[in-house]
A and B are shown apart, each in its own frame.
Chain A
């Protein structure tokens, strides 16, 4: 059993950078300790979008699968660094086959495993799934369900690694499980070893958003400065067999790992810090402390664990109708007043279209903080701002109605306030989501290895 492993994370979401992987692979290969590379690329809706593409005849895995993996494939195979990623999305097996082709085209072979079973539609009907959604989550029409996926834990990933997988492709798993899986495999932690599972889950939680722990989503000139911000390094964790954890990043990369960057990411998307629920363990970080133990090195300690929840959580995505956006700009003298007049006109005319929800912003005066009722905008003053952008957000079940509403923004070119320009319009399908909770036995989790080519 190794005393320590390294886990690097070059992607924290589907839109992340393709060039983040190679510096991590190079650093881990040089280091020599057993190392793993994890990719977290599935947001709440990413998987449902993939499911829709698959039904339309396109691949159901992440479209950027190759973009992420191609730059690190040879380096990982050469250095013996397994790759674990949830880029399988709606079709982990399809992604595994695509990666096998990618290996073949590079003249390489790799043992590739897919983790299956998160897709509830494999074994359950939409109505049955809807019954698992608590009332306060809303009650989607079963006919509108697009995707329903349970968050699997780290066990399957560990099993695939124990079977010799050099690449493990998953669909929906709990994000920290992408890091915990390698730890279970390397250290042999038991399924009820809550203290260690909690420490590993905390490491995964810190890694899973990529650069968010190395200075991304953090930098703020003058008070939270980050060196070399255009080439921020992505994170790497050193994890001990006893659960000790240091967060760092490859030498020579930009960005920053400090007590402050780690503190911010520890509480990211966290509700009760004493009860962070995952399929593997309930993590308690309420007593955690951090300290800087070297340049871009932060030790994190004090996590506690409690027995895992009895149920698994699933995200159910359903057709939520249509979403529209229209924008138009006003600049120069009296721009704010002309923008506000445009919103008054839009509000009057869109109120005549039945079956839609609307929201109006005046970018430059009130937009990011604004609310559906426009209370924030009504109270805000632009203080002489001379470049504003009117934005209308619209949604509804009827595409025609949403389209008509969005066209009203365009008509302001000729029928609205003076000097309106730069209209942009978009209408896109809306995917809504709800959480469901189901007994563990309802999920048929399994690992499938690809046959050698």
Chain B
């Protein structure tokens, strides 16, 4: 039996994230814990992948900004807050918890890179 070339893991294992809101627009900034995992995020966490992950909120537009110096990708999602903090009927009107919706997205990780995926990775000193 040969080992598979890659393993599927939730982003949560490789990355952390923070959500912010302005009106009906959400931004989720995604950060690789380890700099060497950043290219994996850039390759796989595309606008399309994020739009699919948030499909039930019907994003009008998903923009992606790379910030390599912070090993970060900033996603800006238009019209996903069901009206925004002042109009929304959702429980979490700011969308603060939506960073964790993104962190549930699964990506393919090469086996070499996926060891110890039972615990989230920490940034290397």
- Tell me the A residues contacting B by CB distance below 8 Å: 44-45, 137, 217-218, 220, 222-224, 259-260, 263-274, 285-290, 302, 317, 320, 323, 357-359, 361, 363, 367-373, 375-376, 379, 391, 393-395, 430-433, 435
Are B65 and A368 in touch, CB under 8 angstroms? no
Q: Within 8 Å CB of A287, what residues of B?
A: 69
Q: Within 8 Å CB of B57, what residues of A?
A: 371
Q: Kindly identify which residue among B33, B89, B123 contacts A372, using a CB–CB cutoff of 8 Å.
A: B89
Q: Within 8 Å CB of A358, what residues of B?
A: 89
Q: Which 8 residue pairs are nearest across A and B when measured between Cβ atoms?
A: A393-B89, A269-B20, A223-B120, A267-B29, A359-B89, A375-B56, A368-B97, A264-B18
Chain B minimum-CB-distance residue to A373: B56
Interface string of B56-80 (1 = CB under 8 A from A): 1110000101010111101010000
Q: Within 8 Å CB of A220, what residues of B?
A: 16
Are B74 and A270 in touch, CB under 8 angstroms? yes
Dominant secondary structure of chain A at its interface with chain B: mixed
Chain A minimum-CB-distance residue to B92: A368
Distance between Cα atoms of A373 and B18 in the complex (Å) = 25
Distance between Cα atoms of A393 and B88 in the complex (Å) = 9
Q: Given known contacts A289-B69, A367-B91, is B21 in contact with A269 (CB within 8 Å)?
A: yes
Q: Within 8 Å CB of A433, what residues of B?
A: 23, 86
Q: What are 29 contact pairs spanning A and B, CB under 8 A?
A: A45-B85, A217-B18, A260-B16, A264-B31, A267-B29, A267-B67, A267-B72, A268-B18, A273-B65, A287-B69, A288-B67, A288-B70, A323-B89, A358-B89, A359-B82, A359-B89, A367-B92, A368-B90, A368-B91, A368-B97, A368-B98, A369-B97, A369-B101, A371-B82, A372-B82, A379-B56, A430-B87, A433-B23, A435-B23
Are B29 and A270 in touch, CB under 8 angstroms? yes
Q: Kindly identify which residue among A260, A302, A370 contacts B123, using a CB–CB cutoff of 8 Å.
A: A260
Interface string of B99-122 (1 = CB under 8 A from A): 001000000000000000001111
